[in-house]
Structure 1
């Protein structure tokens, strides 16, 4: 019996880079098309179809649009090897600023990685998946897909996100939402104010209590809020008011604690004003913090350095993403690929323009190459592969 030799990782990485380069024109055209036709979360009908159709062109690939109960989610798969490597694609836009988070780059870099890895699946002993994950910005599409079992069987999940600068990993907060509606009683503010129960007073006390509570928040906890309903005519005691808050923390446990702080403040406002209150604290759809895997992150860093990029180490917490939920279930990477301007701010029109320009094009091609090369390393490094396939797949964390 002839013993099969181990795959040559360096040769496979080079082959992956050549494949991405061969598809560069189509990948960049698709990135620009997605950027020019922004679609909000769960409405990404065009982008999801374009990506599914492109993945379906890969010889031997199977691609299905509409998975996990989401019409704009898709699953493409190639190979049948025991190691299942999942690449994630995001393609939802933001209101007003379009692709101000650069999801056109994420989507096409993920597609490019799939195009590069699919022909290598047999040599890698891997199954290569591309999962289209809608509504990262507003609905947590990955959470829905996780609950529906679309990610089941994954051994490692990979994606890359554009940012101002290169970083080995995003370090997102866990996050969740709280909403409150205060119910009082309307009355004429001049003739019969004593008959009213002022719902806006309840909200005012709540906001004051939250502002004071910030002094005692734990490190890494944050509270952001917005008034959704504040009453009408100034000569009418408002009978209802409402607000929404977003809370963040460095862990899900800390998120529970800061959520309770906000809930106490809401109840205090209602009590002070004599209102009743309806509180909804998000539980199932909360975004988790990122579980940053040291081995996988280092594999990405080596490849990025070899490609001429100089990614920064894991920085301070910032933002939130449903990729954090994926990372709590499966070893994952979520590096930031820089657009060459440290002064850029995500979620702006300037960022959208940059992500659709030459810097964004470079991020698409480099991102696709780096995702593919990192996946190759995970499949060919015996230690990492063995760990990913074991009953204890998580390694040392950064």
Structure 2
């Protein structure tokens, strides 16, 4: 509880989670885990290990917050759930044949920290990777969109908007054209695609033709293949803005694309049994269960090792993830109950899957 509240009170955004990573790592060191800080060269990543059994269990901790919204996705709870499960399993590791590996994974909110770790050799050879994410209601299976994150900018030419407007090249107009084109494109996009973004710099003064505009845009799709196909169409919309105004266009990826999720069904089945034994209810008809479509770089991990990514309800309705009201629900009684239940269910699931593995 203390760790969750501490993280919630001191939110840090992607790649800036220096205190958060240290606090999570320290809570594992207190339980006898061996911690490698700045894991694989990433300042706010770590690896904490315990035990030496043949079954290698990976538990992922996320602790980055959202700009301007704090822990409105509940990553403070993710870290506490992971630490709780790891500490519960530690005394049983030798008897259960476990090696417990807790990965501190920065920058899930658009930075792709797990992808960076993957490409540097993390997660290799794990028998199972797990984490649990807060949501309004309990949902068992993650079905996230693949997603790309891009920084988009137009470079035009400044001019006095009243005296010499014809001398300017309006970079803000370029963005307007692109956004209109994207809006029209949506009619031809399948329901498994999402395109959305924000302008982060729209100009400096109303009486000056904007010379530069910038924005951040996400493209989501059911799979990496569909994502690539969709990106080509979206980029043409941005190119239309450049062509119409004469501004130059630059599109830069903010991270490598997040993949769709591949669920390891035996572990998910075990998690559902364990969660239901604790009194959790999976309402498959609730519209609030759509949080399981949210993109995550845990999808990339699931492409390499067996993985599950269930969602634990914190009783937040009508508040939903990425709303300030949801952040408020990520501490307090319902959040604490969800934390304990999810940590317990993950720990029991690890023991179940390891036991079956040992009999194969």
- The aligned counterpart of 2:90 is 118
- The aligned counterpart of 1:336 is 311
Provide the TM-score with structure 2 as the length reference: 0.91
Q: Distance in 2 between matches of 1:321 and 1:131?
A: 15
Q: Distance in 2 between matches of 1:366 and 1:147?
A: 33
**Contact 2:198–2:215 (8 Å) recurs in 1:** yes
Map 1:49-198 to 2 at 5 A: 49-59=22-32, 61-198=33-170
Distance change >3 Å, CA 95–CA 225, structure 1 → 2:
closer
Provide the TM-score with structure 1 as the length reference: 0.83
Q: Distance in 2 between matches of 1:137 and 1:351?
A: 16
- The aligned counterpart of 1:293 is 264
Structure 2 stretches lacking a partner, 5+ long:
none
Cα deviation, residue 313, structure 1: 4.6
- The aligned counterpart of 2:10 is 37
Q: Deviations over 1:240-276 (max 9, x none)?
A: 3333311111111111112111111111221122222
- The aligned counterpart of 2:350 is 375
**Contact 1:168–1:312 (8 Å) recurs in 2:** no
Structure 1 stretches lacking a partner, 5+ long:
1-27, 387-398
Bigger Rg over Cα:
1
**Contact 2:123–2:305 (8 Å) recurs in 1:** no
SS in structure 2 opposite 1:237?
Answer: coil
Cα deviation, residue 352, structure 1: 2.2
Is 1:305 the counterpart of 2:269? The answer is no
Distance change >3 Å, CA 195–CA 70, structure 1 → 2:
same
Q: Deviations over 1:291-348 (max 9, x none)?
A: 1222221111011111111124596563211111111111111111111244221123
Cα deviation, residue 186, structure 1: 3.0
Is 1:263 the counterpart of 2:220? The answer is no
Distance change >3 Å, CA 224–CA 48, structure 1 → 2:
same
Cα deviation, residue 286, structure 1: 1.8
Q: Distance in 2 between matches of 1:94 and 1:341?
A: 18
**Contact 2:108–2:297 (8 Å) recurs in 1:** yes
Cα deviation, residue 374, structure 1: 0.4
Q: Distance in 2 between matches of 1:225 and 1:58?
A: 42
Cα RMSD of the aligned pairs, angstroms, is 2.1
